[in-house]
Structure 1
Amino acid sequence: MTTAQPRHLLDGSHRRMFIGGAWVEAASGQTMETRNPANGVVIATVPRAGKKDIERAVAAARNAFDGPWSRFKPHERQKLLLRIAELFERHWEEICVSDTTDMGLPIARARGNANRVLGMLRYYAGMATALHGQTIDNSLPGDIVSYTRKEPIGVVGAIIPWNAPTAASVWKIGPALATGCTVVLKPSEEAPLTPLLIAELMAEAGVPDGVVNIVTGTGTEAGAPLAEHMGVDKIVFTGSTATGQSIVRASAGNLKRVSLELGGKSPVIVCTDADLERAVPVAAMSVFANSGQICIAGSRLFVARQIHDEFVARLAAYAAGLRIGNGIDPETEIGPLISPRQLQRVEGYLRAGSEEGARLVVGGARLSQGALAEGNFVAPTVFAGVSDTMRIAREEIFGPVISALPFDTLDEVVRRANDTPYGLAAGVFTRDLATAHQLSRRLQAGSVWVNTYHAIDPAVPFGGYKMSGYGREGGTDHLDEYLNTKGVFIRID
Structure 2
Amino acid sequence: MISTYPFVSGKYLIGGNWFEAAKKTNVINPANINEIVGEVALCSASDVDHAITTAEKAYESWSRSDIEERASTMHLAAEEIKALVEENVTLLVRENGKVLVEAKKDLLRCVDIMHEAADELLEWWKPEVLPGNQKVQIRKRARGVTAVISPWNSPMILTFKRVIPAVLTGNTVVVKPATNCPLTIMSFLKVVASYFPAGVINVVTGSGSVIGEALCSDPRVKTIAFVGSTETGKEIMRAASGTVKKLYMELGGNDAAIILRDANLDEDSIKRLRFGVLRAAGQVCSAIKRIYVHESRYEEVVEKLKKEFQRIRIGNGIQPDVEMGPLNNKSQYDYVKGLIERAAGSGATIISVGVQIDPESWDQGYFILPTIITGADQNSEIVRAEQFGPVIPILPFSDLDEAVQLANDSEFGLRASVWTEDEELAIQLAEQLEAGAVFHNNHTVFQDLHLDFPGLKESGLSREVRHCGLEYFADSYGFAN
SS in 1 for 2:313: coil
Task: Quote the offset at 1:361 in angstroms.
Answer: 2.4
Distance of 1:48 and 1:110 partners within structure 2: 26
Alpha-carbon deviations, 1:119-139, whole Å to 9, x = none?
322221112102233334556
Contact preservation (8 Å) 2:339, 2:382: yes
Task: Quote the offset at 1:334 in angstroms.
Answer: 0.9
Contact preservation (8 Å) 1:365, 1:378: no
Distance of 1:350 and 1:253 partners within structure 2: 40
Alpha-carbon deviations, 1:102-149, whole Å to 9, x = none?
11011122123355333322221112102233334556xxxx643232
Q: TM-score, structure 1 length as denominator?
A: 0.92
* 1:134 pairs with 2:124: no
Equivalent position of 2:222 in the other structure: 233
Q: What are the residue-to-residue correspondences of 1:82-231 with 2, within 5 Å?
A: 82-113=75-106, 116-130=109-123, 131-136=125-130, 145-204=135-194, 206-231=195-220
Equivalent position of 1:42 in the other structure: 36
Amino acid at match of 2:474: L
Contact preservation (8 Å) 1:77, 1:128: no
Of 458, 462, 467, the residue aligned with 1:471 is: 462
Residues 120-129 or 159-168, more deviating: 120-129
SS in 1 for 2:364: coil
Residues 45-54 or 278-287, more deviating: 278-287
Amino acid at match of 2:237: V
Amino acid at match of 2:110: V
* 1:343 pairs with 2:333: yes
* 1:292 pairs with 2:282: yes
* 1:73 pairs with 2:69: no
Amino acid at match of 2:454: G
SS in 1 for 2:306: helix
* 1:7 pairs with 2:6: yes
Distance of 1:442 and 1:93 partners within structure 2: 44
Alpha-carbon deviations, 1:192-221, whole Å to 9, x = none?
1111012222034x1221111111111012
Contact preservation (8 Å) 1:195, 1:214: no
Distance of 2:216 and 2:405 partners within structure 1: 36
Distance of 1:355 and 1:346 partners within structure 2: 14
Distance of 1:272 and 1:93 partners within structure 2: 45
Task: Quote the offset at 1:488 in angstroms.
Answer: 2.4
Task: Quote the offset at 1:231 in angstroms.
Answer: 0.8
Alpha-carbon deviations, 1:332-355, whole Å to 9, x = none?
111011112211111110111112
Amino acid at match of 2:41: P
Task: Quote the offset at 1:389 in angstroms.
Answer: 0.6
Equivalent position of 1:16 in the other structure: 11
Of 237, 240, 244, the residue aligned with 1:251 is: 240
* 1:55 pairs with 2:49: yes
SS in 1 for 2:445: coil
Amino acid at match of 1:49: C
Unaligned runs of 5+ in 2: none
Query: Could you say if the C-alpha distance between residues 376 and 95 of structure 1 is closer, same or farther in structure 2, counting changes exceeding 3 Å?
Result: same
Amino acid at match of 1:54: V
Amino acid at match of 1:251: A
Alpha-carbon deviations, 1:139-189, whole Å to 9, x = none?
6xxxx6432321011110010110011101111111112211111010111
Distance of 2:383 and 2:394 partners within structure 1: 9
Task: Quote the offset at 1:100 in angstroms.
Answer: 0.6
Contact preservation (8 Å) 1:268, 1:302: yes
Distance of 1:38 and 1:163 partners within structure 2: 14
Distance of 2:237 and 2:140 partners within structure 1: 25
Contact preservation (8 Å) 2:117, 2:467: no
Equivalent position of 1:430 in the other structure: 420
Task: Quote the offset at 1:85 in angstroms.
Answer: 2.0
Contact preservation (8 Å) 1:265, 1:396: yes
Amino acid at match of 2:11: R
Contact preservation (8 Å) 2:10, 2:40: yes
Unaligned runs of 5+ in 1: none
Equivalent position of 1:485 in the other structure: 476
Of 358, 380, 387, the residue aligned with 1:390 is: 380
Alpha-carbon deviations, 1:277-296, whole Å to 9, x = none?
22222122212111111111
SS in 1 for 2:269: helix
Distance of 2:451 and 2:152 partners within structure 1: 23
Query: Could you say if the C-alpha distance between residues 88 and 453 of structure 1 is closer, same or farther in structure 2, counting changes exceeding 3 Å?
Result: farther
Equivalent position of 1:275 in the other structure: 264
Distance of 2:296 and 2:76 partners within structure 1: 54
Alpha-carbon deviations, 1:235-267, whole Å to 9, x = none?
010000000000001111211111110000000
Equivalent position of 2:359 in the other structure: 369
Task: Quote the offset at 1:317 in angstroms.
Answer: 1.3
Q: TM-score, structure 2 length as denominator?
A: 0.94
Alpha-carbon deviations, 1:385-405, whole Å to 9, x = none?
221111000011111100001
Of 453, 458, 462, the residue aligned with 2:449 is: 458
Sequence identity (%):
33
Amino acid at match of 1:19: I
SS in 2 for 1:42: strand
* 1:33 pairs with 2:49: no
Amino acid at match of 2:122: T
SS in 1 for 2:57: helix
SS in 2 for 1:99: helix
Contact preservation (8 Å) 1:427, 1:453: yes
Task: Quote the offset at 1:440 in angstroms.
Answer: 2.1
Residues 14-23 or 359-368, more deviating: 359-368
Amino acid at match of 2:16: G
Task: Quote the offset at 1:373 in angstroms.
Answer: 2.4
Task: Quote the offset at 1:6 in angstroms.
Answer: 6.1
* 1:302 pairs with 2:304: no
Distance of 1:91 and 1:382 partners within structure 2: 39
Amino acid at match of 1:127: E
Distance of 1:113 and 1:250 partners within structure 2: 31
